[in-house]
Every structure is written in C-alpha cells, then in structure tokens.
Structure 1
C-alpha cells in the first residue's frame, strides 16, 4: 500500500533539512534567508501546478526558480522530502532521476543519464560533494558519500565512500558497524 505524503509534511522535512526545525511558521524566514530551502520549495510549489489549469503559472515559477538559483530540477524527476542544498548553485537533476530522502547535494552537482535511456537512483541519506557527476543507469546506495569532482559511472554500494574520475571505492562500511544503513 502506497502512502501519499501531504505537501505540508514534505515542506516540513525540507525545512528540517535546511534549518533543523519543523515548525511551518519558520518557513517564511527560511524562504527569505536560506537559498537552498527557497530553491526546493519553489520547485515543489511549481510541480502540482504544472498538471492543472494553473500550468502557465507553474511553468513561470519553475523557470524563475531556475534563473534565480541556477539549479535545474527537471519536472519529471522524483525528489523525496528532506533534500538539503547547502550551496544551491548549478545543481542539475535530470528528467528521470530519483532522489531519496535526506540527500545532501552541494554546488555544481549533475545527476542525469548517459547514452542509455535509464537514469540514476540516489537512495536515502546520500551526500554528494561539489562538482560531482553521476550519470547513467546506476544506483547510489543508502548512506553513500561521493567526493568532490568525482565522475560516478557505476553502482555505489550502501555506506561506501567514492572519489575520483572515474570514481573508485575508497572505503566500504565496516560490517561490524550495525549503525550504518544497509548493513546486516
């Protein structure tokens, strides 16, 4: 059974990722003074409008957000609640990309497809540092960390740390550490 998440609950999770607070009354201040929160909030506001008679207004909000922030989140990407954008500049999330909960993306991260028709899946609690590129039909496992400037062309195991061009695994989770996600 799929549970539908209410819009205000999504905003609360995004607000918590940006500020550490879940009270919606803090959303106005966060919108005005935290660029990462305003970027994802404007994207989330535009999405439902695109599929209604308000589609022109939704497209206007989306286009203004892209121009204002330099972040291009395709309207057909799936972005779960809790996205954190510490420096929201030049972040690109392609058309069919799926981004899990509580993911952190730094500036100039690109996530998209290569020559294949499939897009990356970024699982929950992933951190992707500046200028990283994640392309192709790959899966980045829960809790993985992708280093700055990395080019990720293959699957990344849960809890792994990868870096380089092309990205190589630098560290795998210690199996004795049960606190890491995805480790039995």
Structure 2
C-alpha cells in the first residue's frame, strides 16, 4: 500500500515517486521525473523530465525545476527560487543539451534566489534570499547578494559559524586544502 499523496488538482505524469512524498495542488510533474521518498512538493510547482530529486527534499511554492537539475537528499528550496538551464535561450530553439546543475545534500536555497545553470551548490551551503548565484558554491558556504558573494560559513545545523565554531550545537570546523571539515572531537 502506497503512502504517496497527490492532490486531486495536481497533474503528475510520473510513477517514479518515493514513499511518503506529498505533491500539492496545481503542481505539474512530467513523465520521466524522479522524486525520492518523504519529499514535500508544494503548490504551483513544475518539474520537467530530466530531473532527479532525492529523499527528504522540500520544494516550496512557485518553483520550476527544469531539465538538467539534480537535487540530492535533504535539500530545502524556498518559495519562488528560479533555476535556469540555458545560457543562450531563444524562442522556439531548443539546445542540444541543457546545462547540468547539482544541489548537494542538505543545502538550503532562500526565497527568490536565482540559480544560474551549470553550477554546483555544495553540501550544507546556505543561499540567502534574493541572491543571484552565478558560480559554484563550496560546502558549508553562506552566500548572499547580487551576485552572490561568500559571506561566511554555516554549520550542519544551519547556524552561522563564528571562528569556525557553532554556538548553537557546539560543533567545530577547520579548513584543510580549501575545504571546510568538521573537527574530530
């Protein structure tokens, strides 16, 4: 017995949906899209064919997830986030291949952010609301602005780090080879 919930006013054409996922009204999901378990796809969303969404993902209202997007597990996508997948769009002209964009595990993207195609957003990264992201974002990075600039680091719990320490959960981090990692304690 399936515990997938699809609102009667949603147009869901795919069968590739994991257990415990909910898709709300006025959402459109195309036939080849893959959506993991325990996801919450809010109202007024569009998910195209060449899309893979992992487990425990939240997609808030007003988001379109275009061909070429890969969203890993435990990702939060805020309301009205805009993704792109073509650097040179033209009416009635389809590119031979769409740009590939990856949002890594546990990343969070704030409301109304714009994510330019062909980039990767690292694990646990936090994109501020309204940001325009034009390049790869490293793991645990806090970025915001237009264009988005690196403004600090965030903990696994989502809190901003001060001197590579989290005052919320007491985890500590260090940078080794330009990568932020959790210290062994």
1:77 has 2:51 as partner: yes
Partners in 2 of 1:47 and 1:62 — Cα distance?
Answer: 15
Partners in 2 of 1:78 and 1:63 — Cα distance?
Answer: 21
Q: After TM superposition, give the deviation of residue 119 of structure 1 in Å.
A: 2.2
Partners in 1 of 2:53 and 2:128 — Cα distance?
Answer: 21
Partners in 1 of 2:61 and 2:51 — Cα distance?
Answer: 18
Q: After TM superposition, give the deviation of residue 72 of structure 1 in Å.
A: 1.1
> What CA deviation, in whole Å up to 9, does each residue of 1:10-55 have, x standing for no partner?
xxxxxxxxxxxxxx8xx57xx4xxxxxx57xx68x63237xxxxxx
Q: TM-score, normalised by structure 2?
A: 0.60
What corresponds to 1:144 in structure 2?
125
Gaps of 5+ in 1: 1-7, 9-23, 32-37, 50-60
Gaps of 5+ in 2: 17-22, 30-41, 89-97, 155-163, 166-171
| SS, match of residue 14 in structure 2 | helix
Q: 2:181 aligns with which of 174, 180, 183?
A: 183
| SS, match of residue 58 in structure 2 | coil
Q: After TM superposition, give the deviation of residue 110 of structure 1 in Å.
A: 1.4
Q: Which has the higher helix share?
A: 1
1:160 has 2:144 as partner: no
